[in-house]
A and B are shown apart, each in its own frame.
Chain A
Amino acid sequence: MNSGDAAGSSSGGSGDAGAPRRASRKPKYSKFTQQELPACKPILTPKWVISVFLLVGVIFVPIGVASLLASNKVVEIVDRYDDACVPSNVTNKLAYIQNSTISKTCRRTLKVPKDMKQPIFVYYQLNNFYQNHRRYVKSRNDQQLRDASKANETTLCDPEKTRDGMAIVPCGLIAWSTFNDTYTFQHNTNNLSIDKTDISWKSDRDHKFGSDVFPKNFQKGPLIGGKTLNESIPLSEQEDLIVWMRTAALPTFRKLYGRIYVDLKENDTITVTLDNNYNTYSFDGKKSLVLSTSTWLGGKNDFLGLAYLTVGGLCFFLAFAFTLLYLIKPRKLGDNNYLSWNRNSAGH
């Protein structure tokens, strides 16, 4: 057996001698195949860690301060009215709100806490209203909204598809449940006019809702969900509907109602006359009226500023903490003794 092996390897050797005759199978050199692509090798050394923290801190603190200042300039009045606008003698709120024969006009007085510069934005805020529920979100048909010729297109619109065999325009639950409380404002006995144009995003008006699509068979059922639409106005101009149909992400949301172009002084009182039509009582929803000014950042939003400030501050703190750590628990970079095999032998 051994001699057999010897013969095998020696004839293998003769094969080697013949190698030059064959084409060389030597792999070609390239940086890719030899895995030698130039690369930077970031190592989180103390220097780097501290400078990153400092850098983030230096950037974030000013942004935080600016955001917080902007947010603090905003004056916001929030007035919850769903309970207050039901007469105290009514025990069954649901029956009250569903009874269309009762006038539900309600009067609220708001006090301006600080000077408010125009424009003042009027929002309504709903709580516990799941506009993001799957079946709710689905229940609309975009083609029907956009295109007059597709008026009969009511797929996905369950359960508000047709009325007496006729397609509802706009169909679906979302449109059906459009918010229908109305507000009028009085300031020092003067009526404040509310500008209800341009409260929706322009792209929605221009592209999602057709200018030749008119409401049809809308809110004709036994159960009225919300706002009725004027059938002579095209959908693209029904801005309340458009605003409503951009569904909110969370069950607590605000939607723009209109704008007031009047400056309000501190301690002014505003009287709001509102029609409390919208039924939030069946699901314990809350309704509030919000008046707010705005800055470059938008409405009152301390969160963003605070977050920036906190992170910035934390970074400074950590830069300091790491400096301390590196001083208290120093470790020579690339110290042999930290290699596990050296550590183990040192342990014995």
Chain B
Amino acid sequence: MFTLITLYSTIIPISLYVSIEMIKFIQCAQFINNDLNMYHAESNTPALARTSNLNEELGQVEYIFSDKTGTLTRNLMEFFKCSIGGEIYGTGITEIEKGGAERAGVRIDDDEDKRSATAVHEKGFNFDDTRIMRGAWRNEPNPEACMEFFRCLAICHTVLPEGEETPEKITYQAASPDEAALVAAAKNFGFFFYRRTPTTVMVRESHVDRMGSMQDVAYEILNVLEFNSTRKRQSVVCRFPNGKLVLYCKGADNVIYERLADGNYDIKKTSREHLEQFGSAGLRTLCLAYRDLSMDQYKSWNEKFVQAKSSLRDRDKKLDEVAELIEKDLILIGCTAIEDKLQEGVPACIETLSAAGIKIWVLTGDKMETAINIAYACSLVNNDTKQFIISSETDTIREAEDRGDPVEIARVIKESVKQSLRSYLEEARRSLSNTPERKLAFIIDGRCLMYALDPALRVNLLGLSLICHSVVCCRVSPLQKAQVTSLVRKGARKITLSIGDGANDVSMIQAAHVGIGISGQEGMQAVMASDFAIAQFRYLTDLLLVHGRWSYLRLCKVITYFFYKNLTFTLTQFWFTFQTGFSGQRFYDDWFQSLYNVIFTALPVIMVGLFDKDVSASLSKKYPQLYQEGIRNTFFKWKVIAVWGFFAFYQSIVFYYFTAAASQHGHGSSGKILGQWDVSTMAFTCVVVTVNLRLLMSCNSITRWHYFSVAGSIAAWFLFIFIYSAIMTSFDRQENVYFVIYVLMSTFFFYLTLILVPVIALFGDFLYLSLQRWLFPYDYQVVQEMHKDDPHEYSMIRLPERSHLSPEEARSYAISMLPRENSKHTGFAFDSPGYESFFASQQGVCVPHKPWDVARRASMKQQRQQPQRTGRS
């Protein structure tokens, strides 16, 4: 009985494991690591596969968890556009607009050297518009507004200048890169802020009186009204050298608009339109406003301010209340648009990945506004998207916080999270069934997430997140990133991928099935923890859609083929067992059986594992939907395996009975009879030939290596049997097979059978493949057919089509492609200077806003400079 069972050991070949390891290793070491499409020239970083056993999972990823800073964005804030007095300035085109234009089929050149001469691109400033640069603003219809705009930028901030006081060499130290960008913008517009003393701001103003004039003006800063996340604005009261008192204010559009003086509806309306335009282009906006103060007004207010400032209890709250008193009747100047510079190609990449059916979650430590803004910029969210927001910044929670009881706060937050989760889930389900094409986005902040991850709410959280097309988690800690990742990994049972660049992403990278580190940066922690390292987020397209998809297809093919060929082989043995009285006699010689997987059928399947391509790399990216076949695991379903199994069954019957029938009659004119070993050798020959040909039939692309390996394998069998049956050894083998092949080859019967059996065996497969292709084609097959006459698909990869539009035409085209619809999103995002440690807030510790004491910082400037210089050199 045991002997009988051991006969079927070939059904699970060890060579499967070896072959797959080999294939995966070469896929990683040769293909992924050497892909020129994933080589980042600027950082001299090629892609790096650090593990070789996740290739096929790259082709099945359904959820991507991405860090923001450093992964999606470069953490560079650049002043990009502005709207002054109802007029838009700035000719730049954001990535998202480029994406829109490219979708419409126009490619926009933005080579740096093609910019106009006035264009300036430095850190924090990437702006070009001849109308307002170099003093040209004086000729604009509203020079006064322009001047106020620039002054506001130059005065209303908490930035410290450092280094030499020349526009070229100065550096700005700011708590947030936004502020630095705004001040740098002012500098480039001719309002050079160069020195701060505890009470004054020194600005070198150009072109104010007349073109080319330059004068140093000292503005006395009387009060600074802090930015915080509740106020969403920041104001400065300053005294001009001529004694005029002005309050400059910048902040979120809705906050500013509430406090504007009546009148000027035109400007307000056009500015709002501009804000919406900026917002949907993924820019971060701020509104600027000012108010002239009279001495009396100021004095009476200042008393209250001093009082509030010196109060011991609830000082922040009182300061906020006092600020309300003066921040009103503002006059709108305009708004700024800052680009949170995305990594190159990110929106396009995300667009492609979404089309591929991959859901992208952004997990970031940033504030909610910033995160939403980036979601806009990455086209994860647009104006049609329905947003479900769970935020801890609601009035009820704030009230609870004011009461200060931690247990009570927790209860209130938990209750509100629970309620909103439940109602959102219902709403999302309703939306899914009523308007399935509507995209849904779910946004939650870390503090609420902490409660949502509670086992009781987890199910609702998961349910909602899985319905939504994109999920943004802001202000989350590294631990929460990992928790969210494993929530999906375990809850949805889908392949997850995490991508990040920093040490705070390590836990997330480790929690996902596939971890990807952004390499070429300074920190290596993420890379060290990752499975694959790529230099840029956009290379995910290549990694997943090309390498991942191919690897998945290939490995599916390899495994199913292995299953088929061993099942076929073993089943012939199985049929023989019935006719040996279940004695356990082997059908094949021991050597045939041992070498079957090692030599006669080994190489071709490895070739398939390496070279098979259903569609080319460029088509894989052009039709990202093809990736869904991997997500749905189309090629490794029971149905697929059953089809292979069925044909293995059919073929084994053909092999066994067609050849065994031969032993009943005499063959050849000598009338001699073939014995058992003749029959089995013939059957084995048929198996080897058929199985190798079957492989060719299932190939999508056949290189010469396929031909070599298939022909080589069949030739190897004949070579082997010629030698093996010609020699006699005195060792322990039985000489059953001696001369068998020569005996066989002396009969016509052998050749006739050798033609007949493979054809009949492959007949069924061929029929199936033809019918399947015609009646139920796979997506890739349709794409193959669409592009079967493409002559030079390889050259297409290297030479992306470029339109012949001049840069100006392209830009105007891109501008015409801007979203025109009215949206609610106006793109406010501003990292508060008083940005408290989010870890503290994670733990539920409420850190009181510390007043941003500019004066103190200014006086400490000398001491601070020293260590930073050494740090930078």
Interface set of A (CB-CB < 8 Å, partner B) = 1-3, 5-12, 15-16, 19, 22, 24-30, 32-46, 49, 52, 56, 60, 63, 67, 119, 121, 123, 130-138, 140, 142-143, 198-201, 203-204, 207-208, 243, 246-256, 259, 292, 294-301, 303-304, 307-308, 311, 314, 318, 322, 325-326, 329, 331, 333-336, 338-341, 348
Q: Besides the contacts A135-B583, A297-B752, A334-B782, what 12 more A-B pairs have beta carbons closer than 8 Å?
A: A3-B174, A8-B523, A34-B35, A131-B676, A132-B576, A250-B664, A251-B581, A253-B663, A256-B666, A292-B666, A296-B669, A341-B779
Within 8 A of A (CB), among B728-759: 728, 730, 734-735, 738-739, 742-743, 747-749, 752-753, 755-756, 759
User: How long is the Cα–Cα vector from A60 to B755 in the complex, in angstroms?
Assistant: 9
A133-B583, A348-B436 known; A15-B522 Cβ under 8 A? yes
Residues in B neighbouring A26, C-beta threshold 8 A:
36, 39, 41, 44, 46
Please determine whether B743 and A201 come into contact, CB atoms closer than 8 angstroms.
Answer: yes
A19-B42, A130-B583 known; A142-B36 Cβ under 8 A? no
User: How long is the Cα–Cα vector from A26 to B40 in the complex, in angstroms?
Assistant: 8
Please determine whether A311 and B672 come into contact, CB atoms closer than 8 angstroms.
Answer: no
User: How long is the Cα–Cα vector from A136 to B584 in the complex, in angstroms?
Assistant: 11
A2-B176, A201-B672, A253-B673 known; A318-B767 Cβ under 8 A? yes
Min Cβ gap B747→A in Å is 7
Within 8 A of A (CB), among B576-610: 576, 579-581, 583-586
> Could you list 9 A-B pairs, sorted by A, with CB under 8 Å?
A3-B176, A27-B39, A33-B35, A36-B794, A132-B579, A249-B674, A294-B666, A297-B752, A334-B788
Please determine whether B752 and A24 come into contact, CB atoms closer than 8 angstroms.
Answer: no
Q: Is the interface of B mostly helix, strand, loop or mixed?
A: mixed
User: How long is the Cα–Cα vector from A132 to B736 in the complex, in angstroms?
Assistant: 12
Indicate if B769 sits at the interface (CB-CB under 8 A): yes
Please determine whether A60 and B785 come into contact, CB atoms closer than 8 angstroms.
Answer: no
Indicate if B760 sits at the interface (CB-CB under 8 A): yes
Indicate if B301 sits at the interface (CB-CB under 8 A): no
Contact of A43 among B43, B680, B788 (CB under 8 A): B788
B700 and chain A: residue at smallest CB distance? A41
Q: Which 10 A-B pairs have the closest CB atoms?
A: A334-B786, A203-B739, A334-B785, A33-B34, A246-B675, A39-B701, A27-B34, A298-B667, A121-B671, A134-B585
User: How long is the Cα–Cα vector from A243 to B673 in the complex, in angstroms?
Assistant: 8
B176 and chain A: residue at smallest CB distance? A2
Min Cβ gap B248→A in Å is 23
A36-B794, A248-B673, A334-B786 known; A130-B581 Cβ under 8 A? yes
Residues in A neighbouring B39, C-beta threshold 8 A:
25-27
Contact of A134 among B584, B781, B837, B838 (CB under 8 A): B584
User: How long is the Cα–Cα vector from A114 to B426 in the complex, in angstroms?
Assistant: 88
Please determine whether A133 and B580 come into contact, CB atoms closer than 8 angstroms.
Answer: yes
Residues in B neighbouring A318, C-beta threshold 8 A:
767
B731 and chain A: residue at smallest CB distance? A143
B769 and chain A: residue at smallest CB distance? A44
User: How long is the Cα–Cα vector from A201 to B740 in the complex, in angstroms?
Assistant: 10
Please determine whether A307 and B583 come into contact, CB atoms closer than 8 angstroms.
Answer: no
Please determine whether A142 and B735 come into contact, CB atoms closer than 8 angstroms.
Answer: yes
A253 and chain B: residue at smallest CB distance? B663
Interface set of B (CB-CB < 8 Å, partner A) = 3, 30-31, 33-36, 39, 41-46, 69-70, 74-76, 123, 173-177, 365, 436, 520-523, 550, 576, 579-581, 583-586, 611, 613, 617, 623, 625, 628, 658, 660-661, 663-676, 678-680, 699-706, 728, 730, 734-735, 738-739, 742-743, 747-749, 752-753, 755-756, 759-760, 763, 766-767, 769-770, 773-775, 777, 779, 781-788, 794, 831, 835, 837-838, 872
A48 and chain B: residue at smallest CB distance? B770
Min Cβ gap A22→B in Å is 6
Residues in B neighbouring A56, C-beta threshold 8 A:
759
User: How long is the Cα–Cα vector from A188 to B371 in the complex, in angstroms?
Assistant: 109
A9-B521, A299-B671, A339-B782 known; A253-B664 Cβ under 8 A? yes
A123-B666, A199-B672, A252-B664 known; A207-B738 Cβ under 8 A? yes
Please determine whether A297 and B837 come into contact, CB atoms closer than 8 angstroms.
Answer: no
Residues in B neighbouring A19, C-beta threshold 8 A:
42-44
Residues in B neighbouring A131, C-beta threshold 8 A:
676
A301 and chain B: residue at smallest CB distance? B665
Residues in B neighbouring A38, C-beta threshold 8 A:
703-704
Min Cβ gap B612→A in Å is 9
Please determine whether B35 and A37 come into contact, CB atoms closer than 8 angstroms.
Answer: no
Residues in A neighbouring B782, C-beta threshold 8 A:
334-336, 338-339
Contact of A52 among B760, B766, B835 (CB under 8 A): B766
A-B contact count (CB 8 A): 290
Residues in A neighbouring B838, C-beta threshold 8 A:
1
Min Cβ gap B317→A in Å is 26
User: How long is the Cα–Cα vector from A255 to B671 in the complex, in angstroms?
Assistant: 10
Please determine whether B837 and A1 come into contact, CB atoms closer than 8 angstroms.
Answer: yes
Please determine whether B611 and A249 come into contact, CB atoms closer than 8 angstroms.
Answer: no
User: How long is the Cα–Cα vector from A326 to B721 in the complex, in angstroms?
Assistant: 45
User: How long is the Cα–Cα vector from A36 to B153 in the complex, in angstroms?
Assistant: 54
User: How long is the Cα–Cα vector from A36 to B701 in the complex, in angstroms?
Assistant: 11
Min Cβ gap B241→A in Å is 32
Residues in A neighbouring B753, C-beta threshold 8 A:
304
Please determine whether B664 and A298 come into contact, CB atoms closer than 8 angstroms.
Answer: no
Residues in B neighbouring A256, C-beta threshold 8 A:
666, 671-673
Residues in B neighbouring A292, C-beta threshold 8 A:
666, 671
A56 and chain B: residue at smallest CB distance? B759
Residues in A neighbouring B760, C-beta threshold 8 A:
307, 311
A26-B46, A340-B625 known; A254-B770 Cβ under 8 A? no
User: How long is the Cα–Cα vector from A250 to B743 in the complex, in angstroms?
Assistant: 19
User: How long is the Cα–Cα vector from A41 to B696 in the complex, in angstroms?
Assistant: 11
Please determine whether A249 and B680 come into contact, CB atoms closer than 8 angstroms.
Answer: yes
Contact of B663 among A7, A28, A199, A250 (CB under 8 A): A250
Please determine whether B43 and A27 come into contact, CB atoms closer than 8 angstroms.
Answer: no
User: How long is the Cα–Cα vector from A28 to B523 in the complex, in angstroms?
Assistant: 27
Please determine whether B175 and A3 come into contact, CB atoms closer than 8 angstroms.
Answer: yes
User: How long is the Cα–Cα vector from A40 to B704 in the complex, in angstroms?
Assistant: 9
Please determine whether A311 and B763 come into contact, CB atoms closer than 8 angstroms.
Answer: yes
Report which residue of A132, A259, A308 has the largest number of chain B beta carbons within 10 angstroms of its beta carbon.
Answer: A132
B763 and chain A: residue at smallest CB distance? A311
A5 and chain B: residue at smallest CB distance? B75
Residues in B neighbouring A259, C-beta threshold 8 A:
671
Contact of B774 among A7, A46, A140, A201 (CB under 8 A): A46
Residues in B neighbouring A140, C-beta threshold 8 A:
734
User: How long is the Cα–Cα vector from A146 to B787 in the complex, in angstroms?
Assistant: 65
Please determine whether A255 and B673 come into contact, CB atoms closer than 8 angstroms.
Answer: yes
Residues in B neighbouring A334, C-beta threshold 8 A:
782-788
B755 and chain A: residue at smallest CB distance? A63
Residues in A neighbouring B576, C-beta threshold 8 A:
132, 249
Residues in A neighbouring B667, C-beta threshold 8 A:
297-299
Min Cβ gap B774→A in Å is 6
Residues in A neighbouring B773, C-beta threshold 8 A:
44
Min Cβ gap A175→B in Å is 14
Min Cβ gap A121→B in Å is 4
Min Cβ gap B607→A in Å is 10
Report which residue of A15, A33, A45, A67 has the largest number of chain B beta carbons within 10 angstroms of its beta carbon.
Answer: A33
User: How long is the Cα–Cα vector from A24 to B637 in the complex, in angstroms?
Assistant: 44
Residues in A neighbouring B625, C-beta threshold 8 A:
339-341
B781 and chain A: residue at smallest CB distance? A43
Min Cβ gap B72→A in Å is 13
Residues in A neighbouring B580, C-beta threshold 8 A:
130, 132-134, 251
A60 and chain B: residue at smallest CB distance? B759
Please determine whether A311 and B756 come into contact, CB atoms closer than 8 angstroms.
Answer: yes
Please determine whether A16 and B43 come into contact, CB atoms closer than 8 angstroms.
Answer: yes
User: How long is the Cα–Cα vector from A12 to B44 in the complex, in angstroms?
Assistant: 12
Contact of A27 among B46, B177, B774 (CB under 8 A): B46
Please determine whether A121 and B703 come into contact, CB atoms closer than 8 angstroms.
Answer: no
Please determine whether B665 and A300 come into contact, CB atoms closer than 8 angstroms.
Answer: yes
User: How long is the Cα–Cα vector from A296 to B667 in the complex, in angstroms?
Assistant: 8
Contact of B628 among A40, A250, A297, A340 (CB under 8 A): A340
Residues in B neighbouring A335, C-beta threshold 8 A:
782
